[in-house]
Structure 1
Amino acid sequence: MRLKLPLPDEMSPEQKQTYDEAVAGKRGKAPAPMMAWLNSPEMARHATRLGETLRFNTQFPPKLSEIAILVTARHWTAHYEWWAHKRLALQGGLDEKVIDAIRDRRTPIFDDPKGQMIYNVAKSLHEGHGLAKGLYDDAIKTLGERGLVEIIGLCGYYTMVSMTLNTFEFELPAGEVSELA
């Protein structure tokens, strides 16, 4: 870890307010990257609120939203993010074969057209920096405008998360080994 993360009793009043708000939220704890973001308390507050919205208040169940998050974690080779969200994806009901394919940079086979579309959109956003007209049209038909906006939001937010975790070299919990090469 390149950064000393503040303990709650070491935080400024602004940091502590943001930290306490996160702990009181749906996660029940402060998300790991927020601890680095606390160096900019106002940014941390807004980013953490956005993350909570994207995790818990989109039109997608975890089984589907975790696809976009895992594609993003894999794209950035974000070891901590992958570790955290693989567990959440499994808990949400995402097939382990799909998770393994994303990890291995293979195209997964989905039993749900929405899952396939979320994967296609996330891959295109990261690798192609946008969506070609045909993919855009198909995404609107399959996900709707709100759904497409939310997938873009998930990919963008988790890109920031991945960059934070990678830059400050967040370590996996003791005894955990990264699956990403």
Structure 2
Amino acid sequence: MRIEDLALAEMDETQRAVAEEAIAGRRGRIPAPLRAWLHSPELGRRAQKLGEFARYETSLPPALSELAILVTARHWTSHVEWYAHKRDGLAAGIAPSVIDAIAQRCDPEFTDPAAKLVHDYTRQLLASGRVPDALHALAAATLGTRGVVDLVGIIGYYGLVALTLNAFDIGLPDGETPELEP
């Protein structure tokens, strides 16, 4: 890890308040990127609150949220993000074949048109920073305006997570090996 991993006892009052807020929240623990963000406590406080929303409170059902997170994790080859959200994606009902295809950078076969749409929208936005009008119109018609805004928020937030994990070399739990090829 490229940054000091602070124990609660080593944190100043502000850092400890942010860590304890995360522990008291829906996650019940300090999420991996917060280990870096605690070195900028106000960033950490705001980012972890956004993360709690992006993870648990958007208008998208869990399977679609987790799909967008997995596509984002794969885009950035974020091993920790992939590790955590592969399990969550499976629990949310994403088919193992879809997850495997994303890991291989292949186009998955979807039975749910909304899932295909979220996959395609996420990949396109990450690949080019833009989404063609037709794809955006289809997303708005399928997910609603709020759904598209929430989707873009999920993609953006988990991009921040992936880049934080990668930049500070926050690794997988002991005994786990990376599943994603570069």
Question: What is the CA–CA distance in structure 2 between the aligned matches of 1:59 and 1:113, rounded to whole Å?
Answer: 17
| Aligned pairs for 1:113-152 within 5 A | 113-152=113-152
Q: How high is the TM-score relative to the length of structure 1?
A: 0.98
> Secondary structure of the residue that 2:152 maps to in structure 1?
helix
Give 1:92 shift.
1.3
Structure 2: distance between partners of 1:113 and 1:145? 17
Stretch deviating more after TM superposition (107-116 or 157-166): 107-116
Let me know the Cα RMSD of the aligned residues. Answer: 0.8
Aligned-partner Cα distance in 2 for 1:170–1:43: 18
**How many residues align structurally?**
181
Stretches of structure 1 that go unaligned for 5 or more consecutive residues are none
Distance 1:170 1:147 in 2: 31
Which residue matches 2:69? 69
Structure 2's unaligned 5+ residue stretches are none
Letter in 2 for 1:107: D
Equivalent positions of 1:36-115 (< 5 A) are 36-115=36-115
Percent of pairs with identical residues: 47
Query: C-alpha separation between the residues in 1 aligned to 2:8 and 2:113?
Result: 44
CA distance in 2, matches of 1:173, 1:24: 22
Please tell me whether the aligned partners of residues 69 and 158 of structure 2 are also in contact (alpha carbons under 8 angstroms): yes
Cα distance in 1 for residues equivalent to 2:114 and 2:163? 27
Any conservation in 2 of the 1:113–1:142 contact (CA below 8 Å)?
Answer: no
- Which amino acid is 2:67 matched to? I
Residue of structure 1 equivalent to 2:18: 18
Residue 28 of structure 1 aligns with an amino acid whose one-letter code is G
d(CA) in 2 for partners of 1:15, 1:83: 26
What are the equivalent positions in structure 2 for 1:25-36 lying under 5 Å apart? 25-36=25-36
Cα deviation per residue 1:85-107 (whole Å; 9 max; x = unaligned)? 10111111111111001000011
Q: CA deviation at 1:59?
A: 1.4
Report deviation, 1:61.
2.2
* Deviation, structure 1 residue 34: 0.6
CA drift of 1:4 comes to 1.3
* TM-score (normalizing by structure 2): 0.97
> What is residue 177 of structure 1 aligned with on the other side?
177
Q: String of CA shifts for 1:121-177, please: whole Å, max 9, x gaps.
A: 100110021111111111111111011001100110011100010011111111111
